[in-house]
């Protein structure tokens, strides 16, 4: 790295909605310099580091960015060029949890080129307590943070950016982290911009401080003087409080009674009803779900009739001769075997993935631990709501799918036999059921048995997979895959077993 300073001039940042966060900002960073970026919550600190790392707007949002960045003698017009000069250590570390600790570093090296001589030894000393083959999920918070720092350093970017690296750390750990960052900056001659909310442990290590002032939409540069920083932040806070008091419209204030009415005790059962309705929409009633399952029923119906008649190897004459029996057989197989099996497979494959992902995320984010602590039977609420919706929803979907399949069977038959009367189709398609109503009710019972037993077992698999221990997002993904495979396999076995008894 050279000693050429980084210079940013005329920086203007506005949100996609047009709210200006910074207007005409300016700052410089020399090689090896540690700079703190401080400001009130929501002032745009993370937005600024995202702009320097080239990540601003990567999610499709239309941020407005202007300014000139000069780095190593090269100028970047930020209004028209994306500059990813900064290597960012994310607040949540953003490690790749499908890779080991060593692989997280190796992937950075392979895409950035070999590190500078001596750097691997310095980083190895930083990671002395980390097993290179250790999984990300098994690392402590401090170990993850150091892996994230090492990975970013190995990306060989000319600036290091840190988004609140001391968040959640005790004062001693925050102090040690600051010393580590300072040492890396000095040895690599690389500047670092550190976003902080609590700056007490880091201010004495900084070379300069930048304060983002959302009231004046300005960037103030000052020496690392704690008293002066606190005074500036207090002045900004007072100005913002005054502005909010002037801008506040009493007519738009939420009345106290609106909150008080929400804090009255009611029946616990309403929460079971809440989850029941929530899962009914997600698992059964959403338009995409209906389109997905009913499209499957239509395809099965079309293929059964079209191939059942149009590809008869006996030829056109024999096709007409066996028409009545073939139509009766197709009607029986569609309504009692093919449509129930295909629809149940579609329902289980989709819903098991959704159930396992939803419960797994709640486990991973400690929502069930919070429910237990609040004496809320969350596991019972969700398990019962999911099971009821899987069984009753599958029955409802099967009824709709059967109706759709019958209609598509009729349309396909009319394409093949346009001159035949509709009464002929009605007579023979439903002949197995019309001539003996007992056969109809018996087969309805078999279809219901397959649907209820299959979806009950499949939902149990999904719930069990979701409630398993989740140490990372990868664990959730693996649980989803198992849930789909086991659920569909059970569905196939149940339908095959009952079909043997049925026939």
Residue 129 has pLDDT above 50, yes or no: yes
Q: DSSP of 86-140, one letter per residue? A: EEEE-TT----TTSBHHHHHHHHHHHH-SPPTTHHHHHHHHTTTS-TT-BGGGS-
pLDDT confidence of residue 496: 94
Top pLDDT among 453 and 140 is at 453
pLDDT confidence of residue 247: 54
CATH 3.40.50.300 domain residues, the chain: 6-85+157-247
CATH class of 6-85+157-247: alpha beta
Residues near 221 by Cβ (< 8 Å), separated by ≥ 6? 26, 27, 208, 209, 210
Q: Is 202 helix (H, G, I), strand (E, B) or coil?
A: coil
Rg of the chain on CA atoms, in Å: 32
For residues 182-201, give the mean pLDDT.
88
pLDDT confidence of residue 317: 52
Residues near 171 by Cβ (< 8 Å), separated by ≥ 6? 200, 201
CA angle at 228 for the pair 224 and 229, rounded to the nearest 5° = 65
Residue 4 has pLDDT above 60, yes or no: no
pLDDT confidence of residue 363: 92
Question: What pTM was computed for the model?
Answer: 0.77
Give the model confidence (pLDDT) of 260-298 as tens digits.
Answer: 676 777 888 889 999 999 999 999 999 999 999 999 999
For residues 304-321, give the mean pLDDT.
65
Query: Residue 2's pLDDT band (boundaries 50, 70, 90)?
Result: very low
Residue 347 has pLDDT above 90, yes or no: yes
The rounded distance, in Å, linking the Cα atoms of 146 and 17 is 36
Give the model confidence (pLDDT) of 102-114 as tens digits.
Answer: 999 999 999 888 8
pLDDT confidence of residue 249: 59
The rounded distance, in Å, linking the Cα atoms of 114 and 104 is 15
Query: Residue 1's pLDDT band (boundaries 50, 70, 90)?
Result: very low
The rounded distance, in Å, linking the Cα atoms of 335 and 314 is 26
Paired strand residues for 306? none
Give the model confidence (pLDDT) of 25-63 as tens digits.
Answer: 898 899 889 999 998 888 888 888 888 888 887 777 788
Top pLDDT among 264 and 451 is at 451
The rounded distance, in Å, linking the Cα atoms of 4 and 71 is 7
User: Phi and psi (nearest 5°) for 311?
Assistant: -115, 35
CA angle at 420 for the pair 416 and 426, rounded to the nearest 5° = 95
Query: Residue 215's pLDDT band (boundaries 50, 70, 90)?
Result: confident
Top pLDDT among 309 and 296 is at 296
Report the relative pairing of strands 159-163 and 218-222 from DSSP bridges: unpaired
pLDDT confidence of residue 245: 58
CA–CA distance from 317 to each of 310, 314, 401, 421, 483 (Å)? 12, 8, 33, 19, 49
């Amino acid at each position: 790295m050279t000693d050429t300073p980084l210079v940013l001039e005329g920086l203007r940042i506005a949100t996609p909605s047009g709210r200006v966060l910074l207007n005409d900002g300016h700052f410089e960073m020399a090689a090896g310099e540690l700079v703190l970026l401080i400001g009130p919550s929501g002032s745009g600190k993370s937005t600024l580091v995202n702009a320097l790392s080239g990540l601003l707007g990567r999610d499709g949002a239309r941020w407005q960015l202007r300014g000139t960045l000069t780095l190593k003698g090269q100028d970047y017009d930020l209004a028209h060029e994306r500059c990813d000069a900064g290597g960012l250590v994310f607040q949540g570390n953003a490690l790749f949890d499908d890779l080991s600790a060593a692989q997280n570093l190796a992937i950075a090296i392979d895409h950035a080129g070999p590190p500078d001589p001596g750097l691997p030894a310095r980083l190895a000393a930083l990671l002395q307590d980390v097993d290179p083959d250790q999984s990300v999920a098994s690392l402590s918070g401090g170990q993850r943070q150091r892996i994230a720092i090492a990975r970013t350093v190995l990306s060989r970017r000319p600036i290091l950016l840190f988004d609140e690296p001391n968040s959640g750390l005790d004062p001693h750990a925050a102090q040690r982290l600051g010393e580590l960052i300072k040492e890396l900056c000095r040895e690599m001659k690389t500047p670092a911009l550190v976003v902080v909310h609590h700056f007490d442990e880091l201010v004495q290590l900084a070379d300069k401080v930048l304060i983002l002032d959302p009231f004046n939409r300005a960037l103030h540069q000052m020496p690392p003087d704690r008293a002066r920083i606190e005074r500036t932040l207090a002045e900004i806070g007072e100005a913002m409080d005054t502005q909010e008091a002037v801008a506040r419209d009493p007519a738009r204030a939420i009345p106290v009674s609106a909150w008080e009415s929400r804090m009255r005790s009611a029946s616990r059962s309403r929460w079971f009803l809440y989850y029941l309705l929530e899962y009914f929409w997600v698992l059964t009633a959403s338009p995409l779900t209906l389109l997905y399952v009913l499209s499957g029923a239509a395809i099965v119906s079309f293929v059964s009739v079209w191939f059942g008649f149009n590809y008869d190897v006996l030829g056109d004459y024999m096709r007409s001769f066996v028409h009545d029996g073939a139509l009766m057989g197709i009607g029986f197989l569609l309504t009692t075997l093919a449509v129930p099996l295909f629809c149940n497979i579609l329902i289980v494959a989709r819903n098991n993935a959704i159930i396992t992902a939803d419960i797994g995320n709640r486990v991973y984010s400690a929502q069930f631990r919070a429910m237990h602590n609040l004496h809320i039977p969350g596991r019972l609420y969700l398990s019962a709501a999911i099971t009821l919706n899987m069984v009753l929803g599958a029955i409802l979907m099967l009824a709709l799918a059967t109706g759709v399949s019958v209609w598509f069977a009729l349309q396909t038959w009319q394409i093949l036999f346009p001159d035949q009367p509709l009464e002929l189709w009605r007579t023979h398609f439903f002949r197995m059921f019309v001539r003996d109503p007992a056969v109809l009710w018996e087969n309805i019972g078999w279809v219901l048995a397959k649907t209820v037993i299959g979806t009950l077992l499949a939902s149990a698999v999904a719930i069990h997979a979701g409630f398993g221990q989740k140490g990372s997002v990868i664990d959730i993904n693996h649980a989803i895959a198992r849930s789909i495979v086991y659920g569909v396999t059970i569905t196939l076995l149940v339908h095959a077993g009952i079909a043997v008894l049925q026939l």
